Amino acid sequence: MRPGGDADDRARFADLAVHDAVIEAFACHLPDAFLARMVARGRAPAWINLEYLSAEPWVREHHGMPSPHPRLPLVKHFFFPGFERGTGGLLRESMLGEQQRTFLGGPAAQAALWHRLRATPDASALKVSLFSYQNPALPALLEQWRDGPEPIQCLIPQGLAVEQLAVWSGEAAVPGKVVTRGNLQVNIVPFVRQEHYDECCGPAT
């Protein structure tokens, strides 16, 4: 495994052997020298471009799509994880379902999660866990929830979305802060360990 970078950055790939499968992850590009070694191998490796997980319908059309190299006898195939047939699917821990059922049936475990999140659940509200990069549509979404007929409790972890929230609300955005506008209550929550975020996806859906 090597971190991505400039396609001409040869140093990090100089000692990397070409194996039966080569995976580019998340829009990185392989250096030309490494591509040449893939060709020189004789039997071309399976070259896969691993993309981000998405629930958008266009993913089905692009999953598995071949992308021949413009100069070399190499073909890259796109791999799109997804939630529907026709996509690359989604791996999960074998015990995740049972763990979620146990968590949802355990009031003490749920109380411990809310304590870690520095938030208090609103029993009357629809709970939403929102994690995103900066998005120009986010203010409009917050306004729709604010003006909507149903109470919404939205959990947003520290990050770029919280920075947008601060601009939108005009309030400082730190973990533990509650921003209330109309029917919208936003709880700014700290980052938690992966297993605790899995728990967050249970009661917040």
pLDDT score for 1: 67
Q: Which letter, b or e, does each residue of 147-159 get, where b requires 16 or more Cβ atoms within 10 Å of its Cβ?
A: eeeebbbbbbbee
Q: What pLDDT does 204 receive?
A: 44
Q: Which residues pair with 187 in a beta bridge?
A: 155, 178
User: What's the confidence (pLDDT) of residue 31?
Assistant: 86
Torsion of CA 68, 8, 59, 38, to 10 degrees: 40
**What's the confidence (pLDDT) of residue 62?**
94
Annotated domain spans of the chain = 11-79, 96-200
Write the DSSP assignment of 121-172 as a string of letters. Answer: --TTSEEEE---S--TTHHHHHHHHHHSSS-EEEEEESSHHHHHHHHHH-S-
Dihedral of the alpha carbons of 164, 175, 195, 104, in degrees to the nearest 10 = -100
Indicate the residue type of 95.
M
How do the pLDDT tens digits run along the chain, 205 residues long?
666 655 555 566 777 788 899 999 887 888 888 899 999 988 899 999 999 998 898 999 999 999 999 999 999 999 999 988 999 998 878 888 888 888 888 889 889 889 999 999 999 999 999 988 889 999 999 999 999 999 999 999 988 999 999 999 999 889 999 999 999 999 999 988 877 777 777 644 3
Q: Is the pTM of the predicted complex or chain greater than 0.85? A: no
